[in-house]
Amino acid sequence: MAGTDRALMAHLLRRSGFGATFQELDRYCELGYEAAVEEILHPEQQPGIEEDVLERYFVDWKESRNIEAAMTEFVYRMNVYAGSRPLQEKIALFWHGVFATGLAKVLHEKTLLNQIDMFREGGLNNFRDLLLGLAKDPAMIFWLDNNFNHKGAPNENWGRELLELFSMGVGMDGKENYTEEDVKEAARAFTGWTIDDDNVTSLPFGKIPWLFRYVPEDHDDDEKTFQGETGNFNGEDIIDIIVKQPATARFISRHLYNFFVADEPQVPSWQHTPPGNPELIKILEHEYFSSNYNIRSMLRVLFNSDHFKSQEARFAKVKSPAEVVVGTLHLLGDFKFPKRTIFETALGCRYMGQDLLNPPSVEGWHTGEEWIDSGSLVERVNFVADQVGNINQPGVRAMVDALLSQATELDPLSIIGGCLEMMGHVQLHEKNKEHLAAQIRTMLDQHSAFVAGSPEDIESAEKTILHTMKMIGSTREYQFA
């Protein structure tokens, strides 16, 4: 495959996953673009991790006794699957951002991790099933107080957010998508959908995940009118009505676009702000209906679209902290087994402003440029520079060795070009390339430019490459996916 296609493949993997190593890119390029898309769309057909082996050697690794441990497990899984099942993890991260549920209130790590597992397993399938799963998800029920949603005394929290944040959105094309009455009726339809009280406590057997429980006596079975339809609706009926609304097709399409293609304005403004690319949104909406709400089908159309593949869509997104952390870890080839140091590494997400499993609110994280403030940028830059500058990491060693084997003589531009390619076909602005090249030139002048020579030559060449990778990792350009 030609060089430009390799760059396209790297783009696909940055979006459908956490970027690819040069070895992975070799393999994907051999497959070809559409076959690669197909493979990525079916993570379940790729090898998983051997959980039983992990559990034998790391007995308590899933105990998740606190939020940091739960976050570590989340990051560990994203990293360990970034090579074999990238989209399984990416789609889980996507839905976690949309259906943002937080331990600040839920306080039950295993229950919330079960929700994330539901996204891993069903996040690419039928949206109706996913929404129904969400409505029955104990972490969500507790997060949005549906356990306080009783017959005769409804609590509207879940009913409202289901419409506003999880399916239809407040409005589109300047109009409103639902009424206050719709919220009330939806809430009534979900009365009696609660959690199993018996499992709420954590003593004496450790934390036992909560379960969904339907209490028919607490369900308001009277007639309801929702989105113009009338009947003795239960929650499932409400979801059936929701998923067939054009507003839902639009909302999900825009979310997919915002996450996989290019940064859009923040969600609350979507009612009045048209999509960045109305044509692609239209195609996605169409696929939503014709595939019977299948997310995988929508993503197939999305990844194969001309717009996605175009130069315009490249680096049109600011990486989320999870993408920075996991994407960088993936380059290093580290943490294939749990080890202590992953804890501090995983906390990088928090320091960069994405406290996984603890979103700032039910609206999730504000994305795009809003990820960046002076504090979080410092964290990003230092994290990446420290990690990619560590020659003891197998992935870094492999990148350096591959670069050294490619040339007997290194000049600044070929070092930069090689490093950019190794780090996932990062594109550096010409001006910045010149700045970087100027510095590398000074470094090379101080030492020998030849690699083929003595061990000292090789050492200084290695040093130059590492420095170049650190500096690339600290650029603005590296912050874009």
Residues that bind another protein (CB under 8 A): 67, 102-105, 107, 263, 318, 347, 350-351, 353, 358, 360-363, 366, 368-370, 372-379, 381-382, 385-386, 389, 429, 431-432, 435-436, 439, 442, 467, 470-471, 474-476, 479
- Comparing CA positions, the residue from 380, 379, 343, 376 lying closest to residue 67 is 343
Report, in Å, the least distance between residue 198 CB and another protein. Answer: 20
352 contacts 321 by C-beta, under 8 angstroms: yes
Task: Give the residue with the Cβ less far from another protein, 31 or 372.
Answer: 372
Task: Give the residue with the Cβ less far from another protein, 243 or 381.
Answer: 381
Report, in Å, the least distance between residue 429 CB and another protein. Answer: 6
Phi, psi at 214, each rounded to 5°: -105, 125
Task: Give the residue with the Cβ less far from another protein, 276 or 389.
Answer: 389
Report, in Å, the least distance between residue 283 CB and another protein. Answer: 25
Task: Give the residue with the Cβ less far from another protein, 6 or 433.
Answer: 433
Report, in Å, the least distance between residue 294 CB and another protein. Answer: 32
Report, in Å, the least distance between residue 103 CB and another protein. Answer: 6
Return the SS3 of 192: coil
Report, in Å, the least distance between residue 393 CB and another protein. Answer: 14
| 412-419 contacts, C-beta under 8 A, 24 or more apart | 412/436, 412/437, 412/438, 412/440, 412/441, 412/444, 413/437, 415/440, 415/464, 415/465, 415/468, 416/440, 416/468, 416/472, 418/465, 419/465, 419/468, 419/469, 419/472
Q: Say how far apart CA 391 and CA 399 lie, in whole Å.
A: 9
Report, in Å, the least distance between residue 6 CB and another protein. Answer: 24
Q: How far is CA 209 from CA 55, 104, 137, 158, 238, in A?
A: 18, 17, 11, 21, 27
Task: Give the residue with the Cβ less far from another protein, 20 or 324.
Answer: 324
Q: Say how far apart CA 159 and CA 363 lie, in whole Å.
A: 15
For the four alpha carbons of 242, 244, 246 and 252, in that order, the dihedral sign comes to positive
Task: Give the residue with the Cβ less far from another protein, 87 or 385.
Answer: 385
Task: Give the residue with the Cβ less far from another protein, 338 or 473.
Answer: 473
Task: Give the residue with the Cβ less far from another protein, 102 or 138.
Answer: 102
Please, which residues have CB within 8 angstroms of residue 83's CB and are 6 or more apart in sequence? 20, 21, 24, 330
Question: Would you state the structure tokens that stand for residue 325, as one six-digit string?
Answer: 């952390």
Q: Where are the alpha helices (DSSP H) in 291-373?
A: 295-304, 306-309, 321-332, 342-351
User: CB neighbours (10 Å) of residue 459?
Assistant: 11
Report, in Å, the least distance between residue 107 CB and another protein. Answer: 5
Q: Say how far apart CA 297 and CA 327 lie, in whole Å.
A: 25
Which residue(s) pair with 150 in the sheet? 153
Report, in Å, the least distance between residue 361 CB and another protein. Answer: 4
